[in-house]
């Protein structure tokens, strides 16, 4: 008889304790944790720079050190080459290179000179836009070429001491969208 | 309750931002860069041909500053008698400031002999010419020839180079004594022409 009372009392206490234990937040369900390291995202690059001044050459390919000191005559054909350093980095990078052209101050009779628009080449081949990054990501060189010809059809004493000021010739590198970009 | 409302607000804001990105496409440009080259100024040369009279040293540019042709007076030494001649000359120099090649050829055309004061001397005057490398050759009678319709053309005169045109004025041996003391004005046209410097031709 005594035993059953003790047993009952104990059972009650145990049950109460069990109830208490079940009601609190200190006994959490299973949990585990892990750490992810997404890494570092690095952006690419896009730039076009005129690193060195362009070079003028005469018809024979001889360099003209100072164009302001060289005086042209009918029949002269001079070529200006300007190297542009193009930086393109990015897995989905692509860019068009173009020129806004020449807007010169021309003191010659228009019919006596022939000036070409800037022609863009990579190596010896014409630029095929869009340009893509090189395999190693290294810079590539785009060359702009302009020719100025004082035509041999000039007669009399036309355009002696005339001048043709090229002013600034601008070049633009513009990123273009690629598959995978929005 | 509060939580629910803020979540709703957050969702609306996110939606609005996404819409904004789609409709205002131009402001979200891709990368671009630019560079500028300055080729400079190309200037033309002058076309200066200097003339110096052999006998007097008087000098002029072939073309004057106002663009007109110059006149240079040559003064042949001595007086003419029937069958005799006097000589004069002009030194022609290619004075261009061209940067590259600038070859020229100088041509002297046929003489115009004009009587002065109503005389008749002109029809008894003969004018011959020749090219020379030095003015001292003018006084030598060898090499003189008539000036044909096409004139006498010098050899190529390069940048800084020069040529001498010598002129021999003679009185025919049959000239009558009535022309004694008369004078004539003799003018000869000189033309300088640039030679083609283009390898493939002009």
Q: Of all helices (H) and strands (E), which one includes residue B17? A: helix B2-23
The full set of domains in chain B, from first to last, is 49-194 (2.60.40)
Whole-structure pTM value: 0.79
Phi, psi (deg, nearest 5) at residue A68: -70, -20
How many other CB atoms are found less than 10 A from the CB of residue A167?
14
DSSP state of B54: T
Pairing mode of beta strands B41-44, A71-72: parallel
Specify the pLDDT at position B41: 97
How is residue A16 written in tokens? 């109460």
Q: Where are the alpha helices (DSSP H) in A30-149?
A: none
Q: Of all helices (H) and strands (E), which one includes residue B12? A: helix B2-23
Contacts of A168 in chain B (CB under 8 A): 36-38
Residues 1-60 of B with CB under 8 A from A: 30-47
Give the residue-averaged pLDDT of B123-145: 95
CA distance B95 to A49: 42
CA distance B188 to B60: 16
Q: Where are the domains of chain A?
A: 45-175
The fold of the A45-175 domain, in CATH, is Immunoglobulin-like (2.60.40)
Q: Where are the alpha helices (DSSP H) in chain A?
A: 2-23
Contacts of B194 in chain A (CB under 8 A): 73-75
Asked if the C-beta of B148 comes within 8 angstroms of chain A's C-beta atoms, the answer is no
CA distance B188 to B183: 16
Give average pLDDT by consecutive 10-residue segment, chain A, 182 residues: 53 48 62 92 96 96 97 97 97 95 96 96 94 94 97 95 96 94 82
Specify the pLDDT at position A7: 52
Q: 3-state class of A146 per DSSP?
A: strand
Contacts of A163 in chain B (CB under 8 A): 41-44
Which among B78, B85, B89 is positioned nearest to B54, based on CA atoms? B89
Q: Is the ipTM of this complex over 0.85?
A: no
């Amino acid at each position: 008889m005594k035993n059953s009372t003790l047993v009952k009392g104990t059972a009650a206490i145990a049950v109460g304790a069990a109830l208490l234990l079940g009601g609190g937040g200190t006994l959490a369900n299973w949990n585990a944790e892990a750490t992810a390291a997404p890494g570092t995202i690095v952006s690419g690059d896009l730039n076009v720079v005129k690193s060195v001044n362009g070079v003028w050459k005469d018809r024979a390919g001889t360099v003209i050190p100072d164009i302001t000191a060289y005086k042209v005559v009918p029949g002269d054909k001079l070529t200006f080459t300007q190297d542009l350093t193009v930086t393109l980095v990015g897995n989905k990078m692509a860019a068009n290179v173009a020129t806004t052209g020449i807007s010169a101050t021309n003191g010659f009779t228009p019919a006596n000179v022939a000036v070409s628009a800037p022609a863009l080449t990579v190596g010896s081949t014409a630029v095929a836009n869009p340009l893509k990054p090189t395999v190693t990501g290294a810079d590539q060189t785009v060359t702009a070429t302009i020719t100025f010809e004082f035509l041999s059809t000039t007669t009399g004493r036309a355009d002696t001491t005339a001048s043709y000021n090229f002013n600034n010739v601008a070049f633009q590198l513009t990123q273009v969208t690629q598959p995978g970009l929005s | 309750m509060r939580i629910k409302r803020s979540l709703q607000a957050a969702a609306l804001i996110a939606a609005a931002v996404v819409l904004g990105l789609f409709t205002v496409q131009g402001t979200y440009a891709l990368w671009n860069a630019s560079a500028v080259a300055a080729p400079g100024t190309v200037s033309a040369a002058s076309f200066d041909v200097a003339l110096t009279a052999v006998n007097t040293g008087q000098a002029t540019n072939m073309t004057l500053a106002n663009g007109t042709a110059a006149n240079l007076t040559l003064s042949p030494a001595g007086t003419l008698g029937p069958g005799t001649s006097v000589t004069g000359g002009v030194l022609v120099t290619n004075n261009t400031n061209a940067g590259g090649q600038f070859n020229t050829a100088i041509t002297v055309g046929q003489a115009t002999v004009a009587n002065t004061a109503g005389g008749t001397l002109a029809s008894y005057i003969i004018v011959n010419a020749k090219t020379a490398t030095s003015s001292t050759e003018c006084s030598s009678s060898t090499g003189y020839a008539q000036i044909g319709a096409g004139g006498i053309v010098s050899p190529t005169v390069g940048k800084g180079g020069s040529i001498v045109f010598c002129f021999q004025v003679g009185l025919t041996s049959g000239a009558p004594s009535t022309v004694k003391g008369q004078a004539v004005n003799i003018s000869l046209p000189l033309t300088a022409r640039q030679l083609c410097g283009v390898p493939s031709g002009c």
